[in-house]
Chains A and B, each alone.
Chain A
Amino acid sequence: MDKPVITGNTMIVPSDQEYLADIDAFLEATLRGYDADESVVADIAISVSELVINAMLHGNKSSPDKSVTVTINKVNGSIRITVSDEGSGFDPESIEDPLAQENLLKEVGRGVFVVRSLMDEMDIKSTPHGTTVTISKAI
């Protein structure tokens, strides 16, 4: 895959952060179609950007042969979004606490913590064939 593809409420992008702005545009347009307020839109946009960057860098290791899939749904008054990669999985328990004093000034390692803080729910399913993170937030 050499460029993003949108099919309905799903966007598939190559593992290149150049496409972050395209994903954000797709996401925000979809959310506004659901009448989500601006603060909620921003929280979800921040969270999806975190998950997509993790999927590209840590999941797919920036491989041009692997893609990231983002799917948006409205379910019972909540927005539910899944972000999937084609990597080899990871142990969610291995993520360090970014609030620990020794980690406070680290430049990386806050993404999952930020998503957990901004979203109502977050579920990580990681296997040797890829990781899928599902987040949801009421609108």
Chain B
Amino acid sequence: MKLSDHEKDGIVVLEPKGKIMGGPDASLLHDKLYEFIGQGKKKVIIDLSKVDWMNSTGLGILISGYTTLRNNEGELKLANVTEKIQSLLTITKLIMVFEAHDSVDAAVKSFK
């Protein structure tokens, strides 16, 4: 997995690419997410458009970021959820937890 990031209108956008399956790759996403949280940036979007698939380790990272931000008056939202990840979120009922948008722009607007 590769990871890039940028900010849009003051909102952090993380863009993982590839597969989120655990090990060093998963640590990369977890650590970057917590780096921004540590900087006091509490509005985060994870753009999943370039993620081939993730397993429950990836879901755990999303949940960790979601709960940490929520407990600190912040919010984590998802954008461009692929069919494979949507399926995973549905079977695990996490679809009820995460707010997902069809694009990063839509997710950014939803913060306002």
A interface residue numbers (CB < 8 A to B): 17-21, 24, 39, 42, 45-46, 49-50, 53, 98-99, 104-111, 113-114, 117
| Contact call B55/A117, Cβ cutoff below 8 A | no
Q: List 21 A-B contacts (CB under 8 A).
A: A19-B23, A20-B23, A20-B25, A21-B23, A24-B19, A24-B21, A42-B52, A45-B19, A45-B21, A49-B21, A50-B55, A99-B92, A105-B67, A106-B63, A107-B64, A110-B59, A111-B56, A113-B92, A114-B55, A114-B92, A117-B91
Give the distance to chain B from A13, nearest Cβ to Cβ, in Å: 11
Given that A50-B55, A108-B60 are known contacts, is A20 also in contact with B21, CB under 8 Å in the complex? yes
Contacts of A98 in B (CB 8 A): 92
Chain B, interface residues (CB within 8 Å), range: 20 to 34
Does B106 reach chain A (CB closer than 8 Å)? no
Measured in the bound complex, the distance between the Cα atoms of B93 and A117 in whole Å is 12
Closest residue to A116 on the B side, CB-wise? B91
Measured in the bound complex, the distance between the Cα atoms of B24 and A30 in whole Å is 24
Closest residue to B63 on the A side, CB-wise? A107
Does B74 reach chain A (CB closer than 8 Å)? no
Q: Contact partner of A17 among B24, B60, B94, CB < 8 A?
A: B24
Give the distance to chain B from A36, nearest Cβ to Cβ, in Å: 14
Contacts of A117 in B (CB 8 A): 91
Contacts of B92 in A (CB 8 A): 98-99, 110, 113-114
Chain B 18-56, CB within 8 Å of chain A: the 1/0 string? 010111110000000000000000000000000011111
Measured in the bound complex, the distance between the Cα atoms of B61 and A20 in whole Å is 17
Q: Contact partner of A42 among B22, B25, B53, B56, CB < 8 A?
A: B53
Measured in the bound complex, the distance between the Cα atoms of B88 and A113 in whole Å is 11
| Contact call B63/A18, Cβ cutoff below 8 A | no
| Contact call B24/A46, Cβ cutoff below 8 A | no
Measured in the bound complex, the distance between the Cα atoms of B24 and A17 in whole Å is 8
Given that A111-B55, A114-B91 are known contacts, is A18 also in contact with B97, CB under 8 Å in the complex? no
| Contact call B19/A114, Cβ cutoff below 8 A | no
Measured in the bound complex, the distance between the Cα atoms of B67 and A106 in whole Å is 10
Measured in the bound complex, the distance between the Cα atoms of B57 and A98 in whole Å is 14
Give the distance to chain B from A63, nearest Cβ to Cβ, in Å: 17
Does B2 reach chain A (CB closer than 8 Å)? no
Could you list 15 further interchain pairs (A-B, Cβ under 8 angstroms) beyond the known A17-B23, A45-B21?
A: A17-B22, A20-B23, A42-B53, A42-B84, A46-B54, A53-B57, A104-B93, A104-B94, A105-B66, A107-B61, A108-B56, A110-B59, A110-B60, A113-B92, A114-B91
